[in-house]
Structure 1
Amino acid sequence: GRVFCAGADLRSKMPADVTGEDFAGARGSHEGPDAARQHFYHGFTKLHRDISLIRKPTIAMINGPAVGAGMDMALHCDIRVGSEKTRFIAYHNAGQIIENGGSYYLPKMVGLGRALEFAYTGELSAERAYEWGILNHLVASEKLEETTRELCEKIIARPPLVQWVSKRVMRAALDSTLETTMVLTSNAGGILQNSADATEARRAFVEKRKGRFKGA
């Protein structure tokens, strides 16, 4: 497709007072504002949060504009790959702030000043997103899928248990102190040392072959 995610359909004729009933992620609800917030959180916001908790590595291949919730979805992923067609667009057209985790990740990724600049202006080009560190890779659009697949192959070739633990520790480190993170890595390293994947990794290195990992 031409876009990664086009965001909500703001031209929809569905009345706001019934969307809470027909679409759990909608803002409106005939049941009142508290019910609307619950609908939105459990039907939409929680879905975005769960992306960051997935055990496997997640890659957002952003083939065009990532608008509103689509931008948040990409930010929850571990890695983002984009092309010259990639754009990040906030919620301004819906009269909303950056939410669904975007306001959490953006300042940590790019710093407060840049995050606020985007929050104020509402649009970010592919080049600026790469410069700021939101995009891990910026490639020509015709190379986007190839680059993403090559990255997947590199990841698949590595011990999955190491990737899972690394993901958990580094995401926890976003809200931890240096001391806490060092304790976490020390404990995790001790556990991994005796795992089947670690044994296979060492054996494969000595035997100069590819490892056969099972995630255990």
Structure 2
Amino acid sequence: MQQLELVPYLLFEKEDNGILWIKFNRPEKLNAAIGGAERTGTLAKVGEYMRAGDDDPDVKVIVLTGVGRGFCAGADVRGSDLGDFEPNDNYLGNAPYEAGGLDATRQRFYCGLTKLMRDISYVRKPTVAMVNGVAAGFGMDMALQCDIRYGSEKTRFIAYQQVGQIIENGGAYHLTRLAGLGRALEFSFTGHLDGPTAAEWGVLNRIVPSDELEDEVRALCARIMRNPPLVTWINKRVIRAAMDSTLETTSVLTSNASPILATSEDAEEARAALRERREPDFAGR
């Protein structure tokens, strides 16, 4: 695993059972993010932690959640952490450049935010958002980038309207596919979505009482980890690709993947475990 520079406002908690918990840790501010796109900012650290978990063979599932009452309240608009758009800021992933005005703003939003969000959706391993409270702005976007979302009666999604922005950072893309056009537009016009409605719309996979939320997420992770990791990883890629593909293309993907999986170590171990009536020990190969 790559060497991580840990920060106190984002926790990296790896358990022996294969679950990695990445937790926003500013409960006094509903876990609002620190910084913008710089290397030590919350968004960059989420991407760094995600990549580290993806590279760690002992990690099987990654759970993103918040400490306290909130999931992540997005940018700290009441504090000084977000800052203003400075024309010569050198954001993560950019070479030094000279720009000003609107061009600098575009660079910040693409290179600083949207590009970093892709670190979540590009992770091979299953990602679960345990949306334990308010998910606002790019806090909501990060939850939508995850593969699965569990919430409770305390879950609330809040869009960007209150700070004069549109749904961005992949949020508009995923929300439309999860909820459908009409519901996505309704949310984009109103800016608020409670937990029960989010579950009804398909934005949340499941809603459970808040005092049972962590137990339910742990049970979900256990069910995921009983399956061959290689199958899980390839399933994820094929299904995500199928969202923007045709039946023909998806069939080609699956017909190419199936023979590879059939001869993998994980497949052989799965068949042996069934024959011998024991728990499998998968290697992810």
Would the TM-score normalized by the shorter structure come out above 0.5? yes
2:233 aligns with 164
How far apart in 2 are the matches of 1:50 and 1:20? 25
2:176 aligns with 107
Q: Which stretch shows the higher mean deviation, 142-151 or 31-40?
A: 31-40
- Taking structure 2 as the reference length, what is the TM-score of the superposition? 0.70
- Whether the 8 Å CA contact 1:21–1:30 is kept in 2: the answer is no
Q: Which has the higher contact order (CA 8 A, sep 6+)?
A: 1
Gaps of 5+ in 2: 1-67, 93-97
- Taking structure 1 as the reference length, what is the TM-score of the superposition? 0.92
How far residue 17 of structure 1 moved from its aligned partner, in angstroms, is: 4.5
Q: State the identity as a percent.
A: 59
How far residue 36 of structure 1 moved from its aligned partner, in angstroms, is: 2.6
How far residue 32 of structure 1 moved from its aligned partner, in angstroms, is: 3.0
1:21 aligns with 89
How far residue 8 of structure 1 moved from its aligned partner, in angstroms, is: 1.4
Question: Does 1:6 pair with 2:81?
Answer: no
For residues 88-103 of structure 1, what are the structure 2 equivalents within 5 Å?
88-103=157-172
Give the number of aligned pairs: 213
Q: Which amino acid aligns with 1:65?
A: V
How far residue 39 of structure 1 moved from its aligned partner, in angstroms, is: 2.6
2:191 aligns with 122
Gaps of 5+ in 1: none
1:180 aligns with 249
- Whether the 8 Å CA contact 2:127–2:147 is kept in 1: the answer is yes
Sort the Cα spacing of 1:193 and 1:139 in 2 relative to 1 into closer, same or farther, 3 A. Answer: same
Question: Does 1:193 pair with 2:262?
Answer: yes
How far residue 159 of structure 1 moved from its aligned partner, in angstroms, is: 0.5
- Whether the 8 Å CA contact 2:91–2:111 is kept in 1: the answer is no
- Whether the 8 Å CA contact 1:90–1:122 is kept in 2: the answer is yes
RMSD across aligned positions (CA): 2.1
